[in-house]
Structure 1
């Protein structure tokens, strides 16, 4: 696999599965499309493990992700970018935005958000 430290040019695509279960055909398709888009245009395909759901993320699913993507013939720079390794970076970004006064709380319930999403199809833009 390619070295993550080496500079790259061109588009960057990524596939970011959560290790909360096994990959399915839709995951495989998304990963293949992202890798093909990068490879066909001189870019780079990144694998990011979205493992911030600590209650449901499991090491065996992460291992299966690597095995399945390798079986598909995909390659990605090492080391893999794991979301949980960068929580301090995200907290710093939130603190900076808070310092600018641009954060605001949302008091919507999940039900209200789901109702708004359902209404989107009724919007004039379709």
Structure 2
């Protein structure tokens, strides 16, 4: 496991504890070329070894596609989707563009 991933999970656990929240483990496995089952197993083992805990069973993104499709359809039928013509370059540049006073990026409206 990459040390940065462990740190991020630890911070998420601390925030959940501080705010009486629930921490879930969600495995980002949507890229089958890079995401192998053995990576998931060793990641879970590493997190447990570090003493980090989460609620419930770990979730794999690839197994939740029906839920995502349902949510997408709810947004679509409710008229809550809008097209975006941004290129990858536009999005990358927007992350380095000026931000609002609270640090949030300002949507360029593209």
- Alignment CA distance shift 1:67-1:116 (3 Å): same
Matched, 1:111 2:89: yes
Q: Distance in 2 between matches of 1:43 and 1:99?
A: 31
For 2:71, the equivalent position in structure 1 comes to: 93
For 1:67, the equivalent position in structure 2 comes to: 45
What's the CA shift string for 1:48-99, capped at 9, x where partnerless? 1121223321112111111110110122234212221111111111111111
Shift of 1:124: 5.9
Q: Which has the higher strand share?
A: 1
Q: Distance in 2 between matches of 1:83 and 1:74?
A: 20
Q: Secondary structure at the match of 2:83?
A: coil
Q: Distance in 1 between matches of 2:18 and 2:50?
A: 17
Shift of 1:43: 4.3
**TM-align CA RMSD:** 2.2
Q: Distance in 1 between matches of 2:61 and 2:44?
A: 16
Q: Distance in 2 between matches of 1:110 and 1:67?
A: 35
Q: What is the 5 A alignment of 1:1-126?
A: 23-39=1-17, 42-120=20-98, 123=99, 125=101
Shift of 1:37: 3.4
**TM-score normalised per structure 1:** 0.67
For 2:108, the equivalent position in structure 1 comes to: none
- Alignment CA distance shift 1:107-1:77 (3 Å): same
Shift of 1:45: 2.7
